[in-house]
Amino acid sequence: MQHDLHKRSFLPREAWGIIIIVLISLLSKGLGSLFPLVGSMLFAILIGVLLQNTVSIPSTFNPGIHFTLKTLLKVAIVFLGVGLSLFDILHIGQRALWVIFLSVSLGITVTYFVGKWLGVDRRLSLLIGIGTSICGATAISAVKGIVGARENETAYALSTIVFFNLIAFITYPFIGHLLNMTELSFGIWAGTSVHDTSSAVAVGYAFGDEAGDVATTVKLARTLFLIPVMFCLPFILRSGTEGESQYLKAFPWFVFLFLGVSVLHTIGWIPVMIETYMKTISKFLIIMVMAAVGLQVRIRDLVRLGFKPILTGLIASLTCAVISLYLIL
């Protein structure tokens, strides 16, 4: 049936998933304007979760969901570069770099030993620790071959990351306001401790526009730590690698586009009207990404995980959050 749908359709295979995500995003944007304390992005996640766990969503939508999470997220981040000058990026990066280094190093180490103490397989512990400490699903996908993880371990780690991304989105802005954090400090905290790039950016913008810009910059810098970790893992595990192409594939090349847009903004080569459109488009794309994140949350998969991987993920999340917050405050 779904195969026939593809054959009869003149639309790209990603179109069906993108259409449902756009509809969720438009609804979320409307609800967000009515209930600003909740916000459009949280509505997008919650509607996505609700649909995924109450309605049988056809697999026809999966290509569009994946396209939104992978490609449209990168487009949104590149467009966000229009709101930051190169001097802002250098200032933020200089302040956040040592926080990122300590958070990543301690996050992976603590998670590995906690997993060992709980009796969780070391491959799964490493996947959860690296995903939590660096860049979520991207990091897990990049290192799963190096650590020799099985498919079910990869799925477990990804489910854990998605679950704690959802919790972070709800709790981080509340904690930030409770501690009277500045937008700069909150943006650095979100960028150094929230797992996936999409969630880190969304959490930042849920707190404020400046916090969102800062979180984007810090998270991109944190993502770059994936490369040295990938080079170190084979020596730590004494295992082979899948070749140089794996490192090139994992490298976040879109970071250079983000910096390029920022340079053009710094020297004033982008007209103000185009900058305004780019910012508006990027904000809507982030709402779309959050809807796609919600559509990936399967509560039954999380229940099947058992408490040990979830507890490992919880400790990993708390380690990154507390270390980063302590160093920033």
Query: For the residues 129-157, what does the mean pLDDT come to?
Result: 81
pLDDT in tens, 194-221: 988 888 999 999 999 999 999 999 998 8
Q: Which two tokens stand for residue 269?
A: 């080569």
Measured CA to CA, the distance from residue 58 to residue 194 in angstroms comes to: 30
Q: Which residue has the tokens 């990603």?
A: 14
Q: Select the more confidently predicted residue: 240 or 96.
A: 96
54/177 Cα distance (integer angstroms): 33
The predicted model scores a pTM of 0.84
Break the chain into its structural domains and give their ranges.
13-328
Name residue, tokens 């488009």: 281
Pick the residue with more confidence: 22 or 151? Answer: 22
Q: pLDDT value at position 326?
A: 92
The tens digit of pLDDT for each residue in 247-305 reads 566 667 788 888 899 899 999 899 999 999 998 999 899 899 889 988 988 888 777 76
Distant-in-sequence, close-in-space partners of 30: CB < 8 Å, separation ≥ 6: none
Coil vs helix vs strand at 298: coil
Query: How far apart, in Å, do the first and last CA atoms of the chain sit?
Result: 56
Q: How confident is the model at residue 238 (pLDDT cuts 50, 70, 90)?
A: low
CB of 107 closer than 8 Å to CB of 133: yes
Fold of 13-328: Na+/H+ antiporter like fold (1.20.1530)
The answer to whether 161 touches 292, Cβ cutoff 8 Å, is no
Confidence of residue 165 (pLDDT cuts 50, 70, 90): confident
Q: Which two tokens stand for residue 150?
A: 């099985």
Helix (H) / strand (E) containing 131: none
Q: How many CA atoms lie less than 13 Å away from 306 in the CB half-sphere?
A: 9
Mean pLDDT confidence for 11-40 = 91
Alpha helices in 194-294, H assignment, sequence order: 197-207, 209-223, 226-237, 244-250, 254-266, 272-294
